[in-house]
Amino acid sequence: MKRRLRGSSQDPPYALSRNASATAAVVVVALSCLWSTTRAFHMPSTSRPFSRSLHRSVARIRPQGSSLMAKRDAPGGGDVLVIGGGLAGLSTALELSQRGAKVVVVSRDEAESASMAAGGMLAPQAERLEAGPYLDLCLQSRDMYSEWAADLEQWSGGISTGFAAAGGFLAPAFTGDQVDGWVPPPGAGPAYRLDGPQIRGMEPALSPHVTGGWWYPEDMQVDARRLFRALREACLRAGVSVLEGSEWAVEALVFHPALPAVQAVKMSDGRRLSFAQVVVANGAWMNRLLPVPVGPVKGQMLSLRPKKGEPNPLTRVIFAENCYLIPKADGRLIVGATVEAGQWDRGVTAKGIHDLTQRALQICPALGNLELEETWAGLRPTTPDTLPVLGSTPWENLFVAGGYWRNGVLLAPRTGQLVADCVEGKVGADDAALLSHFAWSRFLPSRVGEARQGSKKSAATVAADATVGDKRSAESMSLSKPPRGATSPAADTSAGGPTPSSPTAPADTVTHHDDPYVDYAQLKA
Ligand SMILES: Cc1cc2nc3c(=O)[nH]c(=O)nc-3n(C[C@H](O)[C@H](O)[C@H](O)COP(=O)(O)OP(=O)(O)OC[C@H]3O[C@@H](n4cnc5c(N)ncnc54)[C@H](O)[C@@H]3O)c2cc1C
């Protein structure tokens, strides 16, 4: 279990007891004026705009003199808490930190994160995404990758992400399969239809039964584990506090009784932390903190390695209908992945590995000579429509970055930017239009209005009610029939899990307590 704390041990607490006396409040206000002045004075110019807009957005949700204000303005305070240290949380944290925010990430266990299980493909075209906002979002993120990967390598002090753009992806077609009948949408980038001899000319080890296929020269890849390491290190070097381990698991969000705001987060050991803004980016477990239908779709993977001295039979990523083969720069070849909806365990099964190897050998028989190196599984965070949930929520200081399904590596740079824009309160018109397709309100159509319009119900009540409605809406949708613009479960092989109709994570009750908040200084002891 890792525990990492950054920052000076002399940092004063920023989470104050609700019972603070009037005298203390006066001192806090005086100190906060002094702190704001000195902070603004010493802050690099690039970070000042964030600070100003953060003050504005917090001011919108609190009456003058409320406890929220006291906590935010206390010296040494954190601006943003990010729950979840996978690629979604870390990319948002890095972006916010680089804009001048003080960011803390709490995360339970990196080993359980989907980010560490991913294949690392950046492949909106090979994924056969249809034209629409989701494809647009994915293409924007792919366009950012080359520069982002180079920046991360620099910001992390030299950790390579394994970014590779050369060669593109090949999607081999077998007679009558989905690839065979696919017509790529215009505007997604170049795509070339190949016949059998042409595709085997590019990858001679492909099966003689491959009838042709598509070449997507602009799809690319990273090594997901290396990317994760580089991003985490870049966060640390940018001043983000990354707190990892079971003691940093968040148990519940504590909502303000009267305002549409999160007051604190309750940790699994009962401690309370309060921050001005909170971003929930906890992957497949989002439904345990919030009434939003994100659940797990398990994917099993394996890696092969050529025997010593022998070459890898493949040079490009092969993205077939129910299986993908990813040659990596370090010599491995990753084979993925099963699609098992509603499965919380990350165990690897005989059937899962059997299905994957069988399919891999159909596509490329020469893989039979490679040695089996590693097997693993991860949980894709998935919504009923397989689109992400991004940005604002009915609670004005609460934001979400989740439901990245099978494209969370691809989406990391662009969504980190967009969610940071939301937190900062600076979303341009085009981005607002794009984000509207990924709003969590699509799952809670009638509830959001109540919260936003300041109905007599408290935010906590709305959330608790919404949990029920949320489950209903999740059940009425089917993951197996994604809407136009959402990805179909291409290139994965079903390993016989339950029908992917409804993520079934039990939603914890949204809590509200009156006891004092934890002093951050005590946490550091
Ligand atoms: C087998 C497989 C292959 C994939 N291949 C690709 C690919 O090739 N390309 C691609 O783009 N995407 C791929 N994906 C999808 C991608 O991995 C995910 O979409 C992405 O990693 C999700 O990132 P995340 O940060 O939302 O969640 P995670 O990476 O799951 O991170 C969530 C973190 O939150 C923590 N957490 C959970 N609850 C709490 C709590 N209450 N308190 C504190 N911390 C908490 C968890 O411990 C975890 O560390 C693949 C996924 C799988 C499983």
Q: Note the pLDDT of residue 444.
A: 72
pLDDT in tens, 321-363: 999 999 999 999 999 999 999 999 999 999 999 999 999 999 9
d(CA 510, CA 21): 28
**Co-location of 218 and 146 in the same domain:** yes
Nearest protein Cα to ligand 1, atom 48: 113
Mutate to test the pocket of ligand 1, among 1, 87, 280, 303 (most ligand atoms within 8 A of CB): 87
**Co-location of 70 and 154 in the same domain:** no
Residue 118 Cα to ligand 1 midpoint, Å, equals 8
Domain boundary among 55, 76, 97: 76
Residue 376 Cα to ligand 1 midpoint, Å, equals 14
Task: Point out the ligand 1 atom lying closest to the alpha carbon of residue 116.
Answer: 29
Question: Could you tell me what percent of the chain has a pLDDT over 90?
Answer: 69
- Please state, rounded to an integer, the average pLDDT across all residues of the chain: 77
Please tell me the least confidently modeled range out of 150-159, 172-181, 342-351, 500-509: 500-509
Residue, of 134 and 41, whose pLDDT is higher: 134
**Co-location of 28 and 136 in the same domain:** no
State the residue range of the domain holding 316. 122-224+296-382
Query: Within a 10 A sphere around the Cβ of 286, how many other Cβ atoms?
Result: 29
d(CA 119, CA 338): 12
| 206 falls within a domain | yes
Residue 283 Cα to ligand 1 midpoint, Å, equals 5
Q: Note the pLDDT of residue 78.
A: 66
Please report, for the chain, how many H helices and E strands are present, in that order: 13, 21
pLDDT in tens, 249-305: 999 999 999 999 999 999 999 999 999 999 999 999 999 999 999 999 999 999 999
Question: Could you tell me what percent of the chain has a pLDDT over 70?
Answer: 70
**Co-location of 43 and 127 in the same domain:** no
pLDDT in tens, 188-200: 999 999 999 999 9
Tally of domains within the chain: 2
**pLDDT band at 62; cut points 50, 70, 90:** very low
**Co-location of 131 and 204 in the same domain:** yes
Q: Note the pLDDT of residue 158.
A: 98
pLDDT in tens, 441-478: 998 755 444 434 433 333 333 333 322 222 222 222 22
| 349 falls within a domain | yes
Q: Residue 130 carries which DSSP code?
A: P
DSSP, collapsed to helix, strand or coil, labels residue 359 as helix
**Co-location of 200 and 336 in the same domain:** yes
DSSP, collapsed to helix, strand or coil, labels residue 339 as strand
Pocket of ligand 1 (CB under 6 A): 83-89, 106-110, 112-115, 117-121, 249-250, 281-285, 289, 299, 301, 336-337, 378-381, 402, 404-410
pLDDT in tens, 6-35: 222 223 222 322 333 332 332 223 323 322
**Co-location of 41 and 130 in the same domain:** no
d(CA 11, CA 78): 11
C-alpha angle 122-123-128 in degrees, rounded to nearest 5? 155
Residue 295 Cα to ligand 1 midpoint, Å, equals 11
Domain boundary among 42, 58, 76: 76
Residue, of 1 and 295, whose pLDDT is higher: 295
**Co-location of 48 and 167 in the same domain:** no
| 344 falls within a domain | yes
Mutate to test the pocket of ligand 1, among 94, 282, 418, 492 (most ligand atoms within 8 A of CB): 282
Say which CATH number the domain at 318 has.
3.30.9.10
ipTM: 0.99
Nearest protein Cα to ligand 1, atom 12: 407
**pLDDT band at 493; cut points 50, 70, 90:** low
